[in-house]
Chain A
Amino acid sequence: METLKAQKKDSKSQKSIRISGAEAIIHCLLAEGVDLIYGYPGGAIMPVYDELYKFQDKLTHILTRHEQGATHAAQGYARVTGRVGVAMATSGPGATNLVTGIADAQIDSTPMVCITGQVTRSLLGSDAFQETDIVGISTPVTKWNYQITRVEEIPEIMAKAFYIARSGRPGPVLVDITKNAQFDELDFVYEKCTAVRSYKPAPKPEPSSLEKAAELINSAKKPFIVFGQGVILGEAEAELKALVEKTGIPAAWTILGLSAMDTDHPLNVGMVGMHGNYGPNMLTNECDLLIAIGMRFDDRVTGDLNTYAKQAKIIHFEIDPAEVNKNVKVDVAVLGNSKETLSQILPLVNKNEHKEWKAEFDKMYQIEYDTLINNDIHPTKEGLTMGEVIEQINMASGHEAVIVSDVGQHQMIACRYAKFKQSKSNITSGGLGTMGFGLPAAIGAKMGAMDREVVAIIGDGGYQMTIQELGVIFQHNVPVKIVVLNNDHLGMVRQWQELFFDKRYASTVMTNPDFVKIAEGYHIKSRRVSERGDLQEAVKEMMASKDPYFLEVKVEKEDNVFPMIPSGASVSDIRLK
Chain B
Amino acid sequence: MGKQWYTISVYSENHVGLLNRISGIFLKRHINIESLNVSKSEIEGVSKFTIVVFTTEDWTRKIVGQIEKQIEVIKAYYHTDDETIYQESALFKIASHLLFDERQIQNIIKESNAQIVTVNREFFALAKTGRRHEIDEMHDALLPYGIMQFVRSGRIAVTKAAMPISEILQEFQEN
Taking CB atoms, residues of chain B closer than 8 Å to A146 are 17
A251 to chain B, nearest CB (A): 27
B73 to chain A, nearest CB (A): 6
B19 to chain A, nearest CB (A): 10
B20 within 8 A of A: yes
Question: Would you call B21 and A197 a contact (CB within 8 A)?
Answer: no
Question: Would you call A144 and B66 a contact (CB within 8 A)?
Answer: no
Question: Would you call A198 and B13 a contact (CB within 8 A)?
Answer: yes
Question: Would you call A198 and B17 a contact (CB within 8 A)?
Answer: no
In the complex, which residue of chain A has the Cβ closest to the Cβ of B65? A322
In the complex, which residue of chain A has the Cβ closest to the Cβ of B73? A198
A144 vs B74: C-alpha distance in the bound complex, in angstroms?
A: 15
Q: Mark A138-153, 1 if CB is under 8 A from B, else 0.
A: 0110011111000000
A199 vs B12: C-alpha distance in the bound complex, in angstroms?
A: 10
Taking CB atoms, residues of chain A closer than 8 Å to B175 are 195, 200
Q: Mark A508-552, 1 if CB is under 8 A from B, else 0.
A: 000000000000000000000000000000000000000000000
Given contacts A198-B74, A200-B175, contact A326 B24 (CB under 8 A): no
A177 to chain B, nearest CB (A): 15
Q: Mark A194-227, 1 if CB is under 8 A from B, else 0.
A: 0111111000000000000000000000000000
Question: Would you call B73 and A139 a contact (CB within 8 A)?
Answer: no
Q: Interface size class for chain A?
A: 20 to 34
Question: Would you call B74 and A321 a contact (CB within 8 A)?
Answer: no
A164 within 8 A of B: yes
A136 within 8 A of B: yes
Taking CB atoms, residues of chain A closer than 8 Å to B169 are 197
A320 within 8 A of B: yes
A320 to chain B, nearest CB (A): 7
B100 within 8 A of A: no
Q: Interface size class for chain B?
A: 20 to 34
A147 vs B73: C-alpha distance in the bound complex, in angstroms?
A: 18
Taking CB atoms, residues of chain B closer than 8 Å to A320 are 69
In the complex, which residue of chain A has the Cβ closest to the Cβ of B72? A198
Taking CB atoms, residues of chain A closer than 8 Å to B73 are 198
Partner of A322 from B17, B21, B69, B74 at Cβ < 8 Å: B69
Partner of A145 from B13, B17, B65, B69 at Cβ < 8 Å: B17
A206 vs B71: C-alpha distance in the bound complex, in angstroms?
A: 22
A512 vs B168: C-alpha distance in the bound complex, in angstroms?
A: 59
A146 vs B61: C-alpha distance in the bound complex, in angstroms?
A: 27
Given contacts A140-B28, A320-B69, contact A198 B12 (CB under 8 A): yes
The interface centre, meaning the residue of A145, A164, A196, A198 with most chain B CB atoms within 10 A of its CB, is A198
B166 within 8 A of A: no
Taking CB atoms, residues of chain B closer than 8 Å to A321 are 65, 68-69
A135 within 8 A of B: yes
Given contacts A195-B175, A198-B12, A198-B74, contact A139 B69 (CB under 8 A): no
A143 vs B69: C-alpha distance in the bound complex, in angstroms?
A: 9
Q: Mark A307-326, 1 if CB is under 8 A from B, else 0.
A: 00000000000001110111
A313 vs B55: C-alpha distance in the bound complex, in angstroms?
A: 28
Would you give 7 A-B contacts (Cβ < 8 Å), ordered by A? Answer: A139-B21, A140-B24, A195-B173, A197-B169, A199-B72, A200-B172, A321-B69
Interface residues of B (CB under 8 A from A): 12-13, 17, 20-21, 24, 28, 61-62, 65-66, 68-69, 71-74, 169, 172-173, 175
Interface residues of A (CB under 8 A from B): 135-136, 139-140, 143-147, 164, 195-200, 320-322, 324-326
Which 8 pairs of residues, A with B, have the shortest CB-CB distance? A322-B65, A198-B74, A144-B71, A140-B24, A322-B69, A199-B71, A197-B172, A198-B72
